[in-house]
Amino acid sequence: MPSAKFKSEPQFAREGDGENTPVTSPDLVFAALERGILLGRYVPGQRLIVADLMHELKLSRGSVREGFKRLAAEGVVVQLPHRGVYIRALSRSESLDLLQVLRALLGLAVGLAAARIRLDRKSNVYGHAAKLTRSYERLAALGPNSDRIMQSIERTRFYDTILEIAGNQELTRLNPLLPTVIMRMQIHQYVNPEMHTHLFADYETLYNALMNGDPIKAKRIIDRHIRYSRIQALHLPDEAFATLP
Closest CA to 157 of 178, 139, 181: 139
Residues 110 and 210 sit within 8 Å (Cβ to Cβ) = yes
* Mean pLDDT over the full length of the chain: 89
Whether residue 14 contacts residue 172, with contact meaning beta carbons closer than 8 Å, is answered with: yes
Phi, psi of 205 (to 5 degrees): -65, -35
Per-residue model confidence as pLDDT tens digits over 100-143: 999 999 999 999 999 999 999 999 999 999 999 999 999 999 99
pLDDT 10s digits, 155-185: 999 999 999 999 999 999 999 989 999 999 9
Bridge pairing between strands 47-48 and 77-80: unpaired
Instruction: Tell me whether residue 243 is exposed, middle or buried, using C-beta atoms within 10 angstroms of its C-beta: 0 to 12, 13 to 18, 19 or more.
Output: exposed
- Output the CA–CA distances (angstroms, integers) from residue 34 to 18, 139, 182, 213, 225, in the order listed: 18, 20, 11, 32, 25
> Which tens digits make up the pLDDT trace of 192-237?
888 889 899 999 999 999 999 999 999 999 999 999 999 999 999 9
CA nearest 153: which of 1, 8, 27, 5?
8
- Evaluate if residue 17 carries a pLDDT over 70: no
First to last CA, the chain: 35
Mean per-residue pLDDT, 8-23: 48
Long-range CB contacts for residues 237-241, cutoff 8 Å, separation at least 24: 237/190, 238/92, 239/190, 240/92, 240/186, 240/187, 240/190, 241/89, 241/90, 241/91, 241/92, 241/95, 241/186, 241/187
The DSSP annotation for the chain comes to --GGG-TTPPP---TT-STTSPPPHHHHHHHHHHHHHHTTSS-TTPEEPHHHHHHHHT--HHHHHHHHHHHHHTTSEEEETTTEEEE---BHHHHHHHHHHHHHHHHHHHHHHHHHHHHHHHTT--HHHHHHHHHHHHHHHH-TTS-HHHHHHHHHHHHHHHHHHHT-HHHHHH--HHHHHHHHHHHHTTS-HHHHHHHHHHHHHHHHHHHTT-HHHHHHHHHHHHHHHHHHHHHS-GGGSBPP-
Q: How high is the pLDDT of residue 13?
A: 38
